Amino acid sequence: MTKAERAAYVDRRLAEIYPETPIPLRHRDAYTLLIAVLLSAQCTDRRVNLVTPELFALADTPEKMTGVPVAEIQRIIRPCGLSENKAKAIAGLSKILVERHGGEVPRTFEELEALPGVGHKTASVVMSQAFGMPAFPVDTHIHRLAQRWELTSGRSVVETERDLKKLFPPEHWNQLHLRIIFYGREYCTAHGCKGMTCEICRTLFPKRKKPVVTRK
């Protein structure tokens, strides 16, 4: 198969396996999604979903969050890890949203990435999942699978994102990035497949003999 043929197969097969693409992080609106995505850095979605109900019961808008002491935010989010930095970022971005954006989450990459604790991946998730704008957030699962399926050389997540955007139509990006994540968690896991045993890896590379070592 050519790279384009592999991409077309992946796109088609994942749509068959995952016709529905529910957003893994529980949220109510763009602001609560932004906070949940920020908390998910180096943390599982499952743990974030256990923590956010208490946080959002206390403050689920930027205005309310600015009234919560950073120490209290940190106490609640401690199970997510990196709690000191994340708490400061939540407090800081909430203040900026109130002072500069009328309490609303901005709808551009530039404005989102200017917020404390918000990098390109977090901004991409918010743009795609909150606002429906075409984006292709690349997490560890997508970075790993794109290399196993030889859709990218995988020298960096930036390169992986660029390569995947070239291969797939923009109208598929928002659902496809979730489908790849779902598949990476369920079938093509970091240690369970190694590019050799899951259905898609075996279909694309039936003669592969050696595990694929993921470039970080």
The domain segmentation of the chain, as residue ranges, is 3-20+136-204, 30-129
What local confidence, expressed as pLDDT, does residue 146 receive?
Answer: 97
What local confidence, expressed as pLDDT, does residue 154 receive?
Answer: 80
Class of domain 30-129: mainly alpha
Average pLDDT over residues 180-189: 96
What local confidence, expressed as pLDDT, does residue 78 receive?
Answer: 97
The residue to which tokens 């030889």 are assigned = 150
Average pLDDT over residues 20-25: 94
What local confidence, expressed as pLDDT, does residue 214 receive?
Answer: 85
> Taking a C-beta distance cutoff of 8 angstroms, is the pair 51, 79 a contact?
yes
The yes-or-no verdict on residue 216 having pLDDT over 80 is no
The predicted model scores a pTM of 0.91
The yes-or-no verdict on residue 115 having pLDDT over 80 is yes
Q: What is the pLDDT of residues 122-161, one digit of tens each?
A: 999 999 999 999 999 999 899 999 999 999 988 899 999 9
> Taking a C-beta distance cutoff of 8 angstroms, is the pair 125, 37 a contact?
yes
Instruction: Give every CB contact of residue 125 below 8 A, 6+ residues apart in sequence.
Output: 33, 37, 135, 137
What local confidence, expressed as pLDDT, does residue 155 receive?
Answer: 84
Active site annotation includes 121 = yes
Q: What is the pLDDT of residues 35-90, one digit of tens each?
A: 999 999 999 999 999 999 999 999 999 999 999 999 999 999 999 999 999 999 99
Active site annotation includes 139 = yes
CATH fold label, 3-20+136-204:
Endonuclease Iii, domain 2 (1.10.1670)
Instruction: Say which of 86, 121, 163, 194 is annotated catalytic.
Output: 121
Instruction: Say which of 139, 163, 209, 216 is annotated catalytic.
Output: 139
